[in-house]
Structure 1
Amino acid sequence: MSRTSTKILAALAALPLIAGLAACASPAAGDAGAAADDVVKIGVVGKGDPQWAAFEEAAAAEDIQIEIVDFADYAQPNPALTEGELDLSQFQHIVYLADYNVSAGEDLAPIGSTAIYPLGLYSLKYDSVKDIPAGETVAVPNDASNQARALLVLQSAGLIELKSGGTIFSDLADIDEANSKVKVTALEASLTPTSLPDVAAAIINNDFVEDTGLTFEDAIAKDDPSDPNALPYVNIFAARADDTDDATYLKLVEIFQTDPAVQEALVDASGGTGVPIVTPVEDLEDSLAKVEADTKSAKG
C-alpha cells in the first residue's frame, strides 16, 4: 500500500475505521464453502477495469476459478446476487448497500473492503467551478446514496446550499434554491457523462469517467476520501447473509486485498485516485447496521 494510503488509513482510524486485515481468518480455498472446481460469479460494473483480469489470474493461482459478470448500471447486481445468479458483488459502497437492503427488504452483507474513491465534478464547458455562471444546470446521479454524496460535493464547491447542512440522506428537495448558485437535475448514474454537452457540469461516478474521454485529473471539484466520515463510502465485496463465512469467498477477499498486481491495477484503473483500504469486517457490519437504521428512519 502506498504512503498516501497509509496516511489516509491513519486519518480514518478515529472512527475506528481501519485496523489491519479483515477480522475473518483466511482459510485455504478448499476448507469449506464452494469447492475448488466451482466457478465463483462476481457481479461488477466495469468488467474492463484492469484489476479484474489481475484478480482472475491471482485467484487461479490459488486454484479458485472466478467469472466476472458485467452489469451496465448499479441497479442490477444486487437483485442478481439476492436471486442467486451471482455469488458475490463488488461495485458498491456501504451507503448504497444499506439503501438497497432497506428498500428491498433484503440482508446482503459486506465480507471485505476494497477501496475508497473520491467523487468528482466534471465539465466540458468550464475549467473551474468559479467559472460556472449562476442559473446554470448541474447533473447528479439519481440513486439515493450517490445523489446525497454528489450534493455534498456541490455544496463544498460553493454551487449549492443544503437546508439540512448536508447528510448522507440529502436529496434534491434539500437544496435551498434561493441561496444556491446553480440548478440541479438528477439522472441515472450511467447517463450523467452523456449529459455533459447539455449541462454546465456533472457529477460522474468513477466507473464512467473514462468512457467519456475524460481523465480523473479533469475533475474541477471532488470530495476528500480522508474525511473521518468516509467509512460509509468504502467500497465492499457483498454476499448473501448465509454466505458470509464461506471460506472460498473470504479467501478471494484476502487475495484482492493483498495481491500486488491486483492492488496496482486497482489504483491504475482509477487514475491514481482510488485508495486501497483494508477495514475489519465487524466495522463494515457496524457501519452498515447504523446506516440501515438511519435509512429506515429517514424513509419513515
Structure 2
Amino acid sequence: MTLRRIFAGAAAAAIASVGLVACGNDSADDTAADGTTTAAASGETVRIGTTDANLKEWDVFADLVEEEGIDIEIVPFSDYNTPNDALAQGQIDVNKFQHLKFLASYNEGAGEELVPYASTEIYPLALFWQGHDSLDGIEGEEVAIPNDATNQGRAINVLVQAGLVTLKEEGLLDPAPADIDTEASQVQVIAVDAAQTTTVFHEGRPAVINNSFLERADIDPLDAIFQDDPDNEQAEPYINVWVTTPDKADDETLNRLAEIWKDQAVTDAIMESSGNTAVTVERPAEDLTEIMERLAAGEK
C-alpha cells in the first residue's frame, strides 16, 4: 500500500525549522550532481511541501496517487519561505504553494535556481464594492489596494483592466502607484495593508481584496464587480506552479504527479475550496521558464 504521511499540526515549531523537515533517512534524496538515483525514479517516497495541506484537494490527490502506486509524503509548512528553503536544501523533492512572481523573488533573494515545471491554477484578484454589482458610479471613488510587494502591482493592473486606471507606460507587469497617470485615471488609488482592504470594503468603499481574506471577512467571492482576466498577459506572473530543482525538472514521477493534480476530481475539490474562483492553467514548462526570465530581468 502506498505510504501517505500527512503531518498534522503545521503550526508546530518543528515544521518551521527547515532542519526538521526531512523526515526519513538521507538515502532517500533525489538525484544529485554525482548521478545517484532520485527518490522518484527509485520508487522511494516523494516529499511534497505545501502551505495548504489541510484543504480537501490534497486528500483527493493523495487517493489518486495511491491508486498509481506512487509513494508520497505531504509535508505542511506554516510560512511561505520555508518550503523553498527546504527544497533548495534537498529536504523535500517538490513544492506546490506559490506563483511565478513569488518564486522569482525568492530565487533572486536567496541566490537559488528553483524551477517551475508544471502549471496548476490561477486565482483571479478581484474588486469588491459593498452594495454594488457593477462598476457603475465608481468614477471619482478612492479604491483601496493591498500594499504588499506580491499583490500591489497586480491590484493596480486589475484596475487597469477594468478601465479605471491609466498607467504612464502601458503593459507593465508589476506597476507601482508612482506609475499611475492620476490625471487620466477615473479613480484614486490608496495602498493599505492587505488585511485592511476588507475593513475598507465594510466601510462602503471599493477595494481590491485577495482571496485569502474573503472568507474570514464574510465576503462572497462571487460578489466581485470586476476581476482580472487569467488569460491576460498581465496575469502570467500569478500562475501557480509545481516547483523543484533543475536536476529533477524532467523526472517522470514528478511530472506524473503534476498530471494527476489536473484530474477532474482534484479540480472539483479545488473549486469547492476556492469558492469557484480558481481557474486551471495549462501552460508548458517552456512558457513558465520564459515568464520567470522576464521577471528575473526586472520587467515591470
| TM bin (shorter chain) | 0.7 to 0.9
Amino acid paired to 1:66: E
1:41 to 35, 48, 69: 48
Compared CA separation, residues 260 and 127, structure 1 to 2 (3 A): closer
2:288 to 284, 293, 297: 284
Q: Partner of 1:187 in structure 2?
A: 193
How do 1:1-300 residues align onto structure 2 when only pairs under 5 Å count? 32-34=38-40, 35-38=42-45, 40-44=47-51, 46-62=52-68, 63-71=70-78, 74=80, 77-124=83-130, 126-132=132-138, 134=140, 136-144=142-150, 146-180=151-185, 181-188=187-194, 192-193=197-198, 196-197=201-202, 200-227=205-232, 230-257=235-262, 259-293=263-297, 295=298
Amino acid paired to 1:252: L
| SS in structure 2 at match of 1:210 | coil
**More off after superposition, 97-106 vs 148-157:** 97-106
Amino acid paired to 2:288: L
Q: Partner of 2:22 in structure 1?
A: none
Q: Distance in 2 between matches of 1:242 and 1:161?
A: 43
Compared CA separation, residues 142 and 230, structure 1 to 2 (3 A): closer
Conservation of the 8 A alpha-carbon contact between 1:154 and 1:160:
yes
Report the count of equivalent residues: 261
Give unpaired runs (5+ residues) of structure 2: 1-36
Q: Distance in 2 between matches of 1:70 and 1:202?
A: 30
Conservation of the 8 A alpha-carbon contact between 1:37 and 1:64:
yes
Conservation of the 8 A alpha-carbon contact between 2:39 and 2:46:
no
Amino acid paired to 1:61: E
Q: Distance in 2 between matches of 1:194 and 1:112?
A: 36
Conservation of the 8 A alpha-carbon contact between 1:139 and 1:201:
no
Q: Report the Cα offset of residue 71 of structure 1.
A: 3.4
Give unpaired runs (5+ residues) of structure 1: 1-30
Please report the RMSD computed on the Cα atoms of aligned residues, expressed in angstroms.
3.0
Compared CA separation, residues 210 and 47, structure 1 to 2 (3 A): farther
Q: Partner of 1:3 in structure 2?
A: none
Conservation of the 8 A alpha-carbon contact between 2:108 and 2:296:
yes
Compared CA separation, residues 94 and 222, structure 1 to 2 (3 A): same
Sequence identity of aligned pairs in percent? 34
Q: Distance in 2 between matches of 1:136 and 1:150?
A: 14
Conservation of the 8 A alpha-carbon contact between 2:141 and 2:206:
no
Compared CA separation, residues 154 and 88, structure 1 to 2 (3 A): same
**Structure ranking higher on relative contact order (CA contacts 8 Å, 6+ apart):** 1
Deviations 1:137-165 (A, max 9, x none): 41225124x32221011123344332223
Q: Distance in 1 between matches of 2:230 and 2:137?
A: 25
Deviations 1:195-229 (A, max 9, x none): 54457233233344333322221111111123355
Q: Report the Cα offset of residue 126 of structure 1.
A: 4.7
Amino acid paired to 1:156: Q
Conservation of the 8 A alpha-carbon contact between 1:116 and 1:235:
yes
Q: Partner of 1:19 in structure 2?
A: none
Structure with more of its chain in helix, by fraction: 1
